[in-house]
Structure formats: C-alpha cells, structure tokens
Amino acid sequence: MEGDGIVNPITIMEPAICEKEYGKLVSLCFKVFKDGGSVRFQFHDEYPTKALAPLMLEDYRKVMVERRGEEEQFSYEHIIECMKKVIALDLKQTVNVDKDLQIRAYYAGHVLGAAMIYAKVGHDTMVYTGDYNMTPDRHLGAAQIERLQLDLLITESTYATTIRDSKYARETEFLKVVHKCISRGGKVLIPTFALGRAQELCLLLDDYWERMNLKVPIYFSAGLTIQANMYYKMLISWTSQKIKDTYATRNAFDFKHVCPFERSFINAPGPCVLFATPGMISGGFSLEVFKQWAPSEINLVTLPGYCVAGTIGHKLMSGKPTRIDLDKDTHIDVRCQIHQLSFSPHTDAKGIMDLVGLLSPQHVILVHGEKPKMALLKGRIQTELGIQCYDPANNETVFIPTNRTVKTDATKAFIKSCSIADFHISSNPLVGLTDSNCEAIELFRAVEDKKEAEGILVMDKTKRAKIVCENELMLKLGVEEHGVKFAYCCPVYIDFHEQTSHQLASGSCVALENENSSLEAARSPKCSSLQILHRRLESQICCKNLKGNPDYLKLNSITIHSCSRNFLSLPNQGGKTEADQCNISVVAGHQLIKIWLGS
C-alpha cells in the first residue's frame, strides 16, 4: 500500500517518460475515491507532491477528456476529495501508521518531492525507492539515506547497465553552443516541460550569464513554470545544497537575467534565449516559435534527450530534415542548428550499485526496467556484493526469508562488561614476562581477537530470557560458590651435594637442619628444598616474577609448595641414587599445570 503511495505525481510533467507512473497514480487515486466514504486506508505523500498533485491530476484530466476525447473517469471534485485523504510526510519523519507499521521518508533527488521510503513491520525492515538520483543536479540534491539494517531493498533499475559520464561534459557543450549562437546574434529556443529541466537549465544559464557579464535576455514563455517556480521557492528545503545555502541572501529561483516575455518579442531583432512549452514541440507555444525561428540558420533549438515518435522533436532528432510538413498546407523550412541535450534525473548503474552497497540489505528486488538489463545487474549484485537479488516479472510473487530475532534482556553489568575493554588480564599474561617485546605481541593478540562477551542466559518464571554476568549468577540463583582446586604432584630431583653445599652456605635455616642426618634432611626438605628450587628456577629461566616465601613459591597464579605425601617409598629411578627426591605440588587457579624441573 505504501509502495503505491510513493509514486511521484510530479514526474508526470514529463508524461511520455513517466506515463506508466502517472497511470499508477491515477489508478491509486481512483481506488481511493471509489472506496467512497468508508476510508480504509490513508496514503502518505511528501509535502511537495501533495502540493503539486492536484494541479497535475487536473491537467491530466483535461488532456484525457479534451484532447483524446476519452470518457471522463474522474471529475475535479474527485480529485479534491482524494487529496483530503492524503497525509503529507516530511523528510526523515517517522510515522507509526499502526502498531506494526512504521514508515520514514528519505530524500531521493530525481524531482521535487521524490522520496525513498523506509518501512518496518515488526522486526522486518525494507526500503522502497521509486526513481532516485545519486548525483546532484543544480536544483536538486543527491539521494541521501543512512546506513540501515535492512532485510529488503526494492529499487528501480531504469538504467541497469548504462554508466553515464560526468554531466559536466554535456553542460559545457550546451553552454558553448548557446554562447556561440547568441554571440552571432542568433535566437535560442529551448522547448521544455514546466518542472525540473526548465529550472535546471535556467539555473545553469543564469549563472553563466552572471559570470560572463552577458546581457542577452532570457525569456520564460507566459504560463510556463510560473506556478512551478513558486512551488520551488516555497519548498526550498527539498532543493540542492547550493540553493539552500544562498537562499538566505537570494532565492536562486528569482532568476536575475530572466525577463518576462511578450508575444511581440518573437520577431524582435537581436539575440535572446527562450524557454517554451511543451518539450517536444508537439504543439502549443514552442511550435509557434519554432515556426518563426527555424528558417534562420543563426538560430538554435536545443532538444531534450528523448522525444516521443510523431512529434517534431523526434523528427528533428532523427536526422537533420530541411523541411517539415505540419499538414498539407503548412511546411517549415528548417535551417537552424539543432542541439540535443539530455539531462536524465535517473541514477545510472553505478548509482544503483552504490546504493545497494551502502545499504547492504539481505535481499534486493529490482523493478522498473528492461528485463535483460535487469538480469545483468542482478548478476552483478550477486557476484560483486554477494547479495541475493530478484527481478520478478509482473504478477510474480517473491518470498523473502527474514531472520528471526529474539529479544532478550540484559543486566547493566553485562552491557558494561561488553562495552569496556579490560586491560588488566591482557597485560598480565601467565608465563614468564621476561621480554617486553614478547609482551607486546601477546597484547596485540589479545586485542586482535574478536571481541566476545561472556554471559549466561537465564530464563526465570516470567519466561523472559535474560543475559547476566558470571558474578551476578550466584546472586540471582541464591547459591554459594564452590571452588575446586587442582594440584599436580611431581617428584623433583635435587642434587644432594648441592643441597648440602647450600646448607653450609646458608644462615639460620641451615642451623636447624644440621642436626638431622642427610637422610632425614631428604625426608623433610621443606623450606630448604624450596629455596634451592627457587634458586634453580631463577638461574635457569631467569624468572623475575617468582616470589619466594618460606612455605611456598608463587609465580602469578601458580603456587608451588612441598607435598606431605612421602615419596621415599617409591623406588629410586635409574641413575638417581645420589639424588634426593622432593615432592612438589603445583596449584594453579583452576588448571592443572605441569612443571618439569630436570637436574
């Protein structure tokens, strides 16, 4: 429903290009007022669109009825009635349509009032965009959207394979041709539609005139764009940055060099530039002027990039005719120069790829384009960006799988533990901090690891999942913590001579042990053997962090002390007759750690 509501009525100002969209809008409006009094849905539109839509619709109605002689499908009252049901939507305004559906509009460029719509139903999100433009015009900005977590992106693909070069080349060429023409005293006819192109070209020319100090008049034919210009002036926030910037000092749409036009000027001598409707010289004022100006070779006609077959514009574009037959009696000699200038407000293939890359949705659906080209683009999106892409035909149904997300609560402590990098642990690695360089590498490894947060998922009687921290769990469950310590016992062989020599050399401790025989000393080595061990460890692995204590040795979380179990009962191992055995147990946190100490 919202998708349809986003059709931009203004695009119908270029009816041939956008006839399809126009039909869509009409049918949509039709549906609305066919529903009569029972309003079952509203549709949202952007402010400029709402402002301009009634005008456009009324215009179209007249064309349908008066020109084509079709049956009147709706009346002016219908339009008014329909517009009453339209709610205007502003850029980046989030609207909760009902309790599930949330929509938000983003700027799309293209035409005044064009928008991309972000919609969210439950947890599923999508962006629908009709026509948009990724490169800015002179009068409109580029599409602007933020990074969103999207399940689906539906995008137009009018130019699925075209990559356009800089528009500046075309602009420069245009200005050069126009300047050349007027400097030779020629007249320039620019047939154009009321909205978009006229403003774009006029801004370009007005600025050029200003810079080059040109005094040649620029005319807008009466009726053309006067109303449209008014809307542009009012809806300045939807225009390009430059116009917004200068708005405070001067409205860019108050063209400095544009003068009001009178019919008598058509045949007045001297150079001029004239904007006239309609854009394809299919009739009306532009045809009238064309008849007058075409026979002179110093004059210039600039045509839009696309003209419907059958119009004079189309004839001029397809080869350079010297004579055009209007009807049996009237002919026009065409000697003037023809310049073709296409300003397309659609994005090109690169723009589409850029948008898809930026939004990185889970899935992409391409709409509005030629089938083979869309297939190519689809292939590119899938291979280059790795995003699942679809290009459904009319009436085809596509199922998009979305990820189920489960919401869980989390305690504050858990969130904090996720957010804070704890530098304590990583800066105190377990073993042998002897070399700072070695430490640095260790540190980087700790940082480079993907950050993980450890937590415990609990679900209590309320059936609501909650993540808690490890230390919070005890509190929550109301239980006490039981710690289990592991110890590893291993025999340590100590050279007997070393022991005695040590005892002789050492102080008070030695005095105590001197009374015992050497065998007894071996049976209860206690502190002395620990001391020896300490000494050996220090000398062999140059371990500075080892802390000595009469009862145990400590290296970070590892504690070493002698074991009460008697090892003497064990048989001596081969070749170790002279050595005493000392039983050492190592206790380390929760781990079992082996220490090998060989003699």
Q: Which of 67, 99, 211, 482 binds another protein (CB under 8 A)?
A: 211
| 147 contributes a contact to another protein by CB under 8 A | yes
Choices 49-57, 142-150, 323-331, 484-492; region in contact with another protein by CB under 8 A: 142-150
Tokens of 518: 């050497």
439 catalytic? Reply is: no
Contact with another protein (CB under 8 A): which of 66, 435, 448, 481?
A: 448
Amino acid at 456: I
Between residues 6 and 205, which has the closer beta carbon with respect to another protein? 205
- Using CB under 8 A as the binding criterion, the count of chain residues that bind another protein stands at 59
Which is nearer to another protein, 438 or 568 (by Cβ)?
A: 438
Closest to 145 (Cα-Cα) out of 127, 120, 125: 127
DSSP string, 181-249: HHHTT-EEEEE--TTTHHHHHHHHHHHHHHHHT----EEE-TTSSHHHHHHHHHTGGGS-HHHHHHHTT
> Residue from 27, 81, 102, 208 that binds another protein (CB under 8 A)?
208
Tokens representing 493 are 């062989």
Binding flags for another protein, 21-60, as an x/- string (CB under 8 A): ----------------------------------------
Alpha helices in 367-490 (DSSP H): 371-380, 412-419, 423-427, 436-448, 470-477
Q: In the range 119-138, which residues lie near another protein by CB under 8 A?
A: 135-136, 138
Question: How many CB atoms sit inside 10 A of residue 343's CB?
Answer: 17
Q: Are 115 and 10 spatial neighbours (Cβ–Cβ below 8 Å)?
A: no
Distance in Å, CB of 159 to another protein, minimum? 12
| Alpha carbon 113 to chain centroid, angstroms | 21
What the block records as the tokens of 252 is 């860019």
Whose Cβ is closer to another protein: residue 136's or residue 321's? Answer: 136
* Pairwise CA distance, residues 434 & 423, whole Å: 19
Who's near 249: CB < 8 A, 6+ residues apart? Answer: none
Give yes or no for residue 384 binding another protein (CB under 8 A). yes
Q: Which stretch binds another protein (CB under 8 A): 208-216, 271-279, 461-469, 530-538?
A: 208-216
**Beta carbon nearer to another protein, 350 or 368:** 350
Q: Which range binds another protein by CB under 8 A, 209-217, 264-272, 312-320, 499-507?
A: 209-217
Q: Which is nearer to another protein, 32 or 134 (CB)?
A: 134
Q: Is 339 in the site for another protein (CB under 8 A)?
A: no
Site for another protein in 573-592 (CB under 8 A): none
CB nearer to another protein: pick between 243 and 586:
243
Which tokens is 40 given? 């079952």
Q: Which is nearer to another protein, 131 or 513 (CB)?
A: 131
Quick one: 168 or 596, whose CB is closer to another protein? 168
Catalytic residue among 21, 156, 200, 513: 156
Phi, psi of 475 (to 5 degrees): -65, -40
Instruction: Name residues whose C-beta falls within 8 Å of residue 597's C-beta, 6 or more positions apart in sequence.
Output: 492, 493, 533, 536, 537, 584
Q: Min. distance of Cβ 333 from another protein in angstroms? A: 30
- Stretch touching another protein by CB under 8 A, among 73-81, 274-282, 303-311, 376-384: 376-384
Using CB under 8 A, which residues numbered 293 to 312 contact another protein? none
- Residue 343-362 contact track with another protein, rule CB under 8 A, x = bound: -----x-x---x---x----
Query: How far is the CA of 9 from the CAs of 6, 22, 238, in angstroms?
Result: 9, 7, 16
Task: Choose which of 227, 383, 516, 549 interacts with another protein (CB under 8 A).
Answer: 383
Among the listed residues 470, 462, 427, 379, the one whose alpha carbon sits nearest the alpha carbon of residue 161: 379
443 sits near another protein (criterion: CB under 8 A): yes
**According to the binding rule CB under 8 A, does residue 236 interact with another protein?**
no
Q: Are 105 and 61 in contact (CB under 8 A)?
A: no
358: Cβ–Cβ under 8 A, 6 or more apart, which residues? Answer: 145, 147
CA atoms of 283 and 266, how far apart (whole Å):
16
x/- letters, 164..203, toward another protein (CB under 8 A): xxxxxx-xx--xx--x-----------------------x
- Cα 246 to chain centroid distance, Å, stands at 29
The amino acid occupying position 445 is: R
* Chain residues that interact with another protein, rule: CB under 8 A: 135-136, 138, 141-142, 144-147, 163-169, 171-172, 175-176, 179, 203, 207-208, 210-213, 240-242, 348, 350, 354, 358, 380, 383-384, 416, 418-424, 426-427, 436-437, 439-441, 443-444, 446-448, 451
Which residues are known catalytic residues?
156
